[in-house]
Structure 1
Amino acid sequence: MPIETIRGEPFNIRLDGSPEAPALLLSNSLGTDLSMWGPQIAEWSQHFHVIRYDSRGHGQSTAPDRPYSIAGLGHDALAILDHLGIEKAHWCGVSKGGMVGQWLATHARKRLGHVVLANTAARMGPPDLWNARIKNVRANGMAGLVQPTLERWFSLGFREADAATIAKVSEMLASTPALGYANCCGAVRDMDQREPIRSITNPVLVIVGTLDPATPPEIGRQIADAIHGAKLVELEAAHLSNLEQPAAFTSAVLDFLTA
């Protein structure tokens, strides 16, 4: 579908699958866009009305230079559901998308069905790390972040074996609006959901990458331990596990959503 006006601002949204099927809303990681879900769409769209969108500050969506928050990103997602006339949707988010999912499951649980939180954290410190990254991006743009980010996001073996995926993600990173990225970094820096997520009652699946240096496995296990009844799946992957282990990720989420 074309760019849609959400809360008075442009958002890039794509729909796949039958509108009659249960809705599944996908939320991208920091520094990517809705195309990061490419390996999952063919399978998931057979079962769900899949809704993808470029998060605020990313892709073709709005990227204003003002402070963002995880709560604000959550309200963007709710406004997209409202715009589409969808009362309730399953959720799947990677990294920053998982942070938004935690907020939604805490503050708008009736709007969500099952919730998948992949390669994410309830708290991402230290603030000085984020402040330095924000300062660097504002001064120099995205180019200098691409290579070190790829090294965090993918294991060495995967980077050597799948040049096509690495090239696609590299382009996503390089083309992310610098100011949008910087303001999303501020939202991640300021987030602390460690206690609030204990109130989540939705069915939750937490996916961790055993090789993930950005959100290490123990961080994901802490989320699973904090949420009553949450399930945990570990994949042999680094940070973007849906791309490094696409078949296993796709199946794990589908099994959870259709159980």
Structure 2
Amino acid sequence: MNLPIQLHVQHSGLEKGIPIVFLNSLGTDLNMWNQQVAQLSSSYRMIQMDTRGHGQSAASRGPYSIDLLCEDVIHTLDFLGVPKAYFCGISMGGMMALNLSILYPSRVEKVVAANTAAIIGHESAWLERANLVRMQGMGPVVAGAAGRWFTSQFTDDHVDQVNVMLAQLAQTPSEGYAACCEALSKADLREKVASISVPVCIVAGEFDPVTTVSDGQFLMEKISGSRLEVLPASHLSNVENPQQFSEILSRFF
């Protein structure tokens, strides 16, 4: 049973209408979407939320599961009186958005699933990382994050922006991060995504080493009527290509 916990939620944009709910990636917080919010606030109602164990949301003791993280989202919508939403998630958040479409299709209007996959990485690697941060804190993960998240060109040209994202990672509670690693270690939607019936737009990063264009193509082939957009970016494509990413949201939603 998912017991209530404190979740940090932020509202912006229009006061009425179907909202866009933004779901963050592993090791970031709701501020990763600030550029999309700034670009789209005149046209949409928007809800940003910190996933359990991230940002200012509570980090209850693990293990977590993708289903549990999705329950948090539905409980939040219930609390806010939102019957249905657009969802935009990236990486772990993208997998959550797809899973919401499987578990709660009546609550989902459309989905943008960015830089994600039906299964991300390998179970053993996620469990090793969970153990690492519980023993040593976030330092070892922060050290290699820029290379996973951004192209080298973006890292060189946008040092301040990259440092802001790395600060989000460094400030993520180690238990929350570790428990989400455990959730990802067990998450496998490969046999389930074909049941998705809501409109889905998949966004992939051309240079993403974590969730590849091939992962995006797999989703597109499995999800009837879905589309695939490829941006010239690495793993955090909404940060590296904010304008193009926001234009995709605007066209699709």
TM-score exceeds 0.5: yes
Q: Where has structure 1 moved over 2 Å in runs of 4 or more?
A: none
Q: CA deviation at 1:170?
A: 0.9
Other-structure match for 1:143: 139
Taking the aligned partners of 2:4 and 2:202, their CA distance within structure 1 comes to 33
Residue in structure 2 matching 1:14, options 10, 15, 19 = 10
Conservation of the 8 A alpha-carbon contact between 2:205 and 2:232: yes
Other-structure match for 1:132: 128
For 2:156, the aligned partner's letter is E
What CA RMSD, in Å, does the superposition of the two structures yield over aligned residues? 1.1
Other-structure match for 2:94: 98
Taking the aligned partners of 2:120 and 2:95, their CA distance within structure 1 comes to 10
TM-score by length of 1: 0.95
Conservation of the 8 A alpha-carbon contact between 1:21 and 1:47: no
Other-structure match for 1:178: 174
Count of residue correspondences: 252
Residue in structure 1 matching 2:209, options 210, 213, 222 = 213
Taking the aligned partners of 1:43 and 1:110, their CA distance within structure 2 comes to 28
TM-score by length of 2: 0.97
Other-structure match for 1:52: 48
Q: CA deviation at 1:219?
A: 0.6
Q: CA deviation at 1:47?
A: 1.7
1:1-259 map, 5 Å: 8-257=4-253
Q: CA deviation at 1:85?
A: 0.3
For 1:148, the aligned partner's letter is G
Q: CA deviation at 1:61?
A: 0.3
Taking the aligned partners of 2:94 and 2:141, their CA distance within structure 1 comes to 22
Conservation of the 8 A alpha-carbon contact between 2:53 and 2:60: yes
Q: CA deviation at 1:19?
A: 2.0
Unmatched tracts of structure 1, length 5 or more:
1-5
Conservation of the 8 A alpha-carbon contact between 2:121 and 2:210: no
Q: Among the aligned pairs, what percent are the same residue?
A: 38
